[in-house]
Amino acid sequence: MEGYGACFHPQARITFVQGTQTNSEGLTDFLHGQRLTHQSAPSPMKELPLSMNIMMGKGIAQAEVRWELHKQGGNRTGTDFFTLAKTPEGWRIVALVWEQD
């Protein structure tokens, strides 16, 4: 989780879309929730990319990633849309919008 968190800009926003509802949070809350979810899982969870489409600009990029989450009780699929910006520290995720199928 530390490596994943390092990919984000400190001011990144993460938005979960479910139907017509959205829930947005900052990076700290998002990573905390992810850690708790993994720690409380009865067995290890593993997320695998199924496909990826990347569009690049000079200092910005977008990536669409279809994924499958393997976990006890059944697998889940969904889509992540990442927006990245080139920073002095390198490319960082500034926004993540995701949904689960």
Q: Could you give the angle at the alpha carbon of 31 between the alpha carbons of 36 and 92, nearest 5°?
A: 160
| Average pLDDT along the chain, 101 residues, taken 10 residues at a time | 90 96 96 91 93 98 97 93 97 97 95
Model pLDDT, residue 80: 98
Per DSSP bridges, beta strands 46-56 and 76-87 are unpaired
Model pLDDT, residue 20: 95
Q: Write out the H or E segment, with its range, that includes residue 35.
A: helix 27-40
Q: Which domains does the chain have, with CATH numbers?
A: 2-100 (3.10.450.50)
Structure tokens at 52: 């990826």
Backbone dihedral region of 19: left (phi > 0), alpha (psi from -120 to 50 degrees) or beta?
A: left
Model pLDDT, residue 3: 86
